[in-house]
Amino acid sequence: MDEVLLLAINGLRAPGLDAVMKPLSSWGIYAFPLAMLFSLIRSSAHARSIRDGWLTWFLSMFVAEQVLKPLIARPRPTAGERLRDLLDVLGSVPPPSSLAFPSGTSTAAFAGATWIWIRWGWRPGVPAVILAAIVGVSRIYAGIHWPTDILGGAVLGAAVAVGLDWVSKRIEPPPAR
């Protein structure tokens, strides 16, 4: 199923989609830190939230990149010759050779989207989750991640954001509004 979805999404290639997916695949990981900067610019009263946001981002990336990837050691789709010949890899020549599961970019995007939802509610949270999903799909479209790498990153990122929010509220109750 993973291979079928990978080839189907990667096979959607079109110049217009390439123009959107390439920057999302390369730069989508930075959407979350930009949201935190926006929050900080709005008011210094958001300092605790910013601290929690950075902690969410760094912890989710640490768990994905330093703990789970080496433990699971799943190769990227481009690691095998058969798939490498079938995939149209967008932008990365040669494609990344690092491990695949979970997607660090997807982990960061969903950690950020979940943090935005927790911090500001569903109105900005829904577009953030949609953007995170598009960033995840862009990694499949680019041919550098399996669909389950993206799903694993989404679950991990959201879980870290929810878990850290839970811990933060117990250690330091939110200030009265």
Q: How confident is the model over 91-149, as pLDDT tens digits?
A: 655 566 788 899 988 999 999 899 889 888 888 889 989 989 999 988 888 888 889 99
Q: What is the pLDDT of residues 46-64, one digit of tens each?
A: 566 677 777 888 888 889 9
> pTM, whole model, 2 decimals?
0.79
With 90 as the cut, is the pLDDT of residue 156 above it?
yes
| In-domain check, residue 130 | yes
Of 14-18, 22-26, 42-46, 117-121, where does mean pLDDT reach its minimum? 42-46
* Alpha-carbon dihedral sign for residues 83, 85, 86, 90: positive
Question: What is the distance between the alpha carbons of residues 37 and 13, in angstroms, rounded to a whole number?
Answer: 34
Question: What is the distance between the alpha carbons of residues 173 and 168, in angstroms, rounded to a whole number?
Answer: 7
Count CB-CB contacts under 10 A for residue 81.
8
| In-domain check, residue 78 | yes
| Domain encompassing residue 90 | 2-169
| In-domain check, residue 86 | yes
Question: What is the distance between the alpha carbons of residues 146 and 174, in angstroms, rounded to a whole number?
Answer: 39
60: CATH:
1.20.144.10
| In-domain check, residue 59 | yes
Supply 24's token pair: 């999302």
Listed residue (48, 96, 54) closest to 75, CA to CA: 96
| In-domain check, residue 175 | no
pLDDT bin (cut points 50, 70, 90) of residue 37 is: low
Instruction: Find the mean pLDDT for residues 147-166.
Output: 94
pLDDT of res. 177: 57
pLDDT bin (cut points 50, 70, 90) of residue 150 is: very high
pLDDT of res. 157: 95
As for how many domains the chain has, the answer is: 1
With 80 as the cut, is the pLDDT of residue 161 above it?
yes
